[in-house]
Structure 1
Amino acid sequence: MKMAGNPPEGKWSGPSHAGVKAPSPIVLANAARRFSATAQRLEQLAAGHPLEPWLRFMAALADAQHTVATTLVPAVSLSPAVVVQAVEARLPPLAADGHRRDPSWTDGLALLLELVDGSALPVAAQDAMEQLRGSDAATLEKLADQFLRGGLAAADAAAAVYVAAALQVYFTCSAAQLEVDDLRLLEERALCPCCGSPSVAGMITASGVTPGTRYLYCSLCSTAWNHVRAVCITCGGTRHLSLQAIEDDAGVVKAETCGDCHTYTKLLYQLQDMQVDPYADDLASLGLDLLIAEAGYARHAPNPLLLMGDDEAVEG
């Protein structure tokens, strides 16, 4: 995953005069609710969906993540001095491909594998689970490094979804322990201020003190951060942006495409459905990804839980 760039000196550079409310620049995830909310939303979206069996499996995986997050709580506790040092050095304190992980993440992976029912999975996926159960700590750490640094071998793709799920829990629990006032937005606003990872989707809010604000949601640590609207999060372009959606769709999920860099990102509209969840709705709108890809656009960043590929999806 991409390392973060230099952050600005301040946390927020928006309007500050009397009478204008600025959105919170950074919102840390509630680790006790993040994965259960995704699991519930996936179950809701699965009913009658063309990918219903797969979405129900992903809901079960999110439910297992919730159990790990609320029982083991795998995390690293950074001292205030370490956080200050990282921010002053213009780095995210939990840099995904840089900080030393606490071994507790592998305990979380072990529990996750115990909780997931793999009986309905293809043989290759079941073999991947057994491979992970039998791997020593050094092998698991190597897989995590390869996943986080974008060097995962094709042979390990089936195992990647479980490694990714365990790392999501670990980084979410770790980020939740930080003090939001100690953090700053990064100069490269498309990257998470906590761990430097890209977003999985953006949400246009319909509630709070500043409805209509866009928040990007980190694909790894679940942190949300404000990003100005009508700006491509990949190249910063503004002139050739357009919104694409599936015809006759409810309008909850759209793709913001950029004609300059030919990338796109998902936008979720809370006004259309107050139950929208950036992680669940991204997975359930895979059909939109396929249509946009056919039109010649590349996704801004992949969803970590889709690295196992379509062939490993649960079969009905």
Structure 2
Amino acid sequence: MGSPLGGVQAPEPICLPDPKTRFIATASRLDALSEGHQMAEWLKFMAALARAQHAAALSVALSHPLDEQQLEESVASRQPPLAPELHERDPSWRQGLMVLLDGLDHSPMPEGSAASIDELRLSSADAIEGLAHDFLCGSIDSNDAVRALYVAAALQVYFTLAAASLRAPLLRLLPDRGTCPCCGSTPVSGLITASGRTPGTRYLYCSLCSTAWNHVRAVCITCEGTGALSLRSIEGDSGAIKAEVCDDCHTYAKMLYQAKDMCIDPFADDLATLGLDMMVAEAGWSRHAPNPLLLVDNLRS
């Protein structure tokens, strides 16, 4: 199944990603958003990273995709079949990492990135797997943060490929509707559709495997409360991107409105609207979950 961005004919509960378009679409959107943006150079770098992810997604093949029995057992136990703490990663993901690094060779990079890329190329498989484990467990050391950025990007490619290999009809939404039914990760943003027979449907987009899943609107994706939600946006902007804030749990999540901009991308537009994050954070709300590609603050300087 494809992304609901192009038009959903019905409110499908789960939309698996298309690895052939996921990363190149984000790269193209970042290129467009970078024009005249105050963080133009950083957005151009993130566009180059997305293009490198696209190259990796096209060149890597899973040698041990999840079989149907494993999928059915996970779904029956109400567990995400690609949960990082349970899923045994196919070693092909490290090949994808090397393709990704090669794709950045001729791109302008933030200071320190080239050295970190060289270190990764010389690292042992065990060291790279250790970085992957730390990232997936949320325990990255500050000294490893730059290298972990590229590991995170490669893991996004791998988990997107793995999610795309699953059979959507066999999947089910999790009891915790705020987490991805494929890998159990948190969403990077939500998107309100403007097309299909049911426009106005909300989908959350997984920060790791790119899966989109339906989540009822007017319900907090963190605490599932309904009585203390409101929207915040930057005055004078297009209204395409807003922060849905909850005064019960004091968290927020970004919501993207396709009716305001049909070119909107859940991954690119999140990166390009850090000003909105700063505004709501200063007002006292904490982000529902981090974007995994925002591991290193000084990459944005």
Distance (whole Å) between structure 1 residues aligned to residue 65 and residue 111 of structure 2: 38
**Matches of 1:147 and 1:43, distance apart in 2:** 27
CA spacing shift, 1:263–1:203, aligned 2, 3 Å: same
Mapped contact 2:48–2:107 kept (Cα < 8 A):
no
Shift of 1:119: 6.3
2:34 counterpart (46, 49, 52): 46
Indicate the residue corresponding to 1:12 in structure 2.
none
* Residue in structure 1 matched with residue 271 of structure 2 by the alignment: 283
Q: Find the counterpart in structure 2 of residue 239 from structure 1.
A: 227
Q: Give the superposition deviation at 1:127.
A: 2.1
- Residues 76 and 216 (structure 1), Cα distance of their counterparts in 2 relative to 1, 3 Å cut: farther
- The residue aligned with 2:141 is 153
Is structure 2 residue 257 aligned with structure 1 residue 269? yes
Q: TM-score, normalised by structure 2?
A: 0.94
1:184-238 deviations in whole A, cap 9, x for unaligned? Answer: 0000000000000000000000011211000000000000000000111000111
Which residue is equivalent to 2:70? 82
Q: Is contact 1:165-1:305 (8 Å) kept?
A: yes
The 3-state SS of whatever aligns with 2:259 is helix
Residues 73-222 of structure 1: matches in 2 within 5 Å?
Answer: 73-74=61-62, 76-117=64-105, 120-222=108-210
Give distance in 1, aligned partners of 2:24 and 2:55: 9
Asked whether the equivalents of residues 74 and 169 of structure 1 are also in contact (C-alpha less than 8 Å), the reply is no
Question: How many aligned residue pairs are there?
Answer: 293
- Residue 299 of structure 2 corresponds to 312
Displacement after TM superposition at 1:73 (Å):
3.8
Which whole-Å CA distance do the structure 2 matches of 1:25 and 1:53 have between them? Answer: 37
Question: Aligned-pair RMSD on alpha carbons?
Answer: 1.4
Give the aligned residue type for 1:254: K
Alignment partners' CA distance in 1, 2:201 and 2:194: 8
Question: CA 1:55/1:75 → structure 2, altered by over 3 Å: closer, same or farther?
Answer: farther
SS at match of 1:267: strand
Contact 2:233 2:239 (8 Å CA) reproduced: yes
Query: Any conservation in 2 of the 1:118–1:126 contact (CA below 8 Å)?
Result: no
Contact 1:75/1:170, CA 8 A, preserved across alignment = no
Could you tell me which runs of 5 or more consecutive residues in structure 1 were left unpaired when the two chains were aligned.
Answer: 1-20
Q: Match for residue 59 of structure 1?
A: 47
Amino acid at match of 1:267: M
Amino acid at match of 1:278: P
Unpaired runs of 5+ residues, structure 2, are 1-8
Render the CA deviation track for 1:102-149: whole Å, top value 9, x for unaligned: 000000001111111376334422222121111111011111010001
Structure 1 residues 147, 210: closer, same or farther in 2, change over 3 A? Answer: same
Q: Deviations over 1:242-287 (max 9, x none)?
A: 1000000001110000001100000000000111000000000011
**Residues of 1 paired with 2:299 and 2:132: CA distance?**
20
- Contact map agreement 2:10 2:196 (CA 8 A) in 1: no
CA distance in 2, matches of 1:119, 1:36: 16
Q: Report what 2:5 is aligned to.
A: none
Q: CA deviation at 1:300?
A: 0.3
1:248 alignment counterpart: 236
- % identity of equivalent residues: 57
